[in-house]
Amino acid sequence: MDWSKAKNILIVALLITNLILGLAIYSGRDTYGGYDAAEVRNNTVLLLKEHGIFVEEEIIPERVERLPIMSVRYRTVSDEKVAETIAAYRLHLADGTSDEEYRRASEELLMAVGIPKTVFAYEETVAEGETVTVRFGTAYEEYSLDNAKLQVVFEHGRPKEIPGNWVEPVSMGQNRKHVMSSTAVLANFMNLIERQTIETEEPSAERERITINEMRLVYCLEGYTNNGGVSEDTAVPYWCIRYNDEKSAYIAAYEE
């Protein structure tokens, strides 16, 4: 059998699997028309395991009923301001400087170019030879804006790169929309992995074991508009699934 026919058969099998998964997950429906959350989560874990995907029930978040969109603005400073800030920084960070000291120095530099302390949150410091990169995330209230990262780069103990633009979260919208349940998202994640397996012509038996480390709701930037010279954008909720320690998958959280 040629690969194209085999691929079609696998796609049909995947669709059937989706149906079985949906029926099995929601077999936890109780006599009052609701759902037994514990049974739904248990069914989800067992079905994922059959497909080589492993997740502990404890890390599956509770359902979040509704979330609004997030409004943000793009902020920019001139290249001259960035260059002046780098030139004015007198401190030299010697070999052996701690991550905490690099974090503090980076925060000072970010604020020196005009980025408010409320916009960024420290994530990590990564050293590669004489280069040290300090990374920050952007957050609003309890939610991370996952594709709006900031970083400060040092070389030989001196700042080399500072961001001259950033995203400033402004507000949450008034209208809240239903968010896909975490168990439904796991089903979508399984489909994503199965499709990748088919498209790469990689037999499932040879695919690496997949262990889900974390699930969380985040926001990601979407459309772009210009309004009177002020750059604005909209961020919407996504489920972020971190797996095998270093990989991440993003699945739109709003229910269709």
Number of domains in the chain: 2
Same domain, 78 and 163: yes
Q: Kindly state whether residues 166 and 186 are assigned to the same domain.
A: no
Cα(233)–Cα(71) distance, rounded to whole angstroms? Answer: 6
pTM: 0.78
Q: Domain check: are 90 and 159 in the same one?
A: yes
User: Where are the strands (E) in 131-191, listed by range?
Assistant: 131-140, 143-155, 158-161, 165-172, 177-178
Per residue in 90-146, pLDDT (tens digit) is: 888 988 899 999 999 999 999 999 998 888 999 999 999 999 999 999 989 889 999
172, 200, 231 - which closes a domain: 172
Question: Residue 186 and residue 63: Cα distance in Å, rounded?
Answer: 12
Residue type present at position 241:
I
**Rounded-to-integer distance, Cα 219 and Cα 137, Å:** 12
Please write the tens of the pLDDT for every residue from 167-219. Answer: 989 999 999 999 998 998 999 999 888 887 777 766 655 667 899 999 999 99
List all residues 6 or more positions away from 82 whose beta carbon is below 8 Å from its beta carbon: 113, 162, 164
**131 and 11 share one domain:** no
- Residues 128, 131, 137, 138, Cα dihedral to 10°: -160
Separation between Cα atoms, residue 155 and residue 162, nearest integer Å: 12
Of 172, 195, 223, which one is at a domain's C-terminal end? 172
Residues 134 and 199 both lie in one domain: no
| Enclosing domain of residue 114 | 71-172
Domain identity same for 53 and 123: no
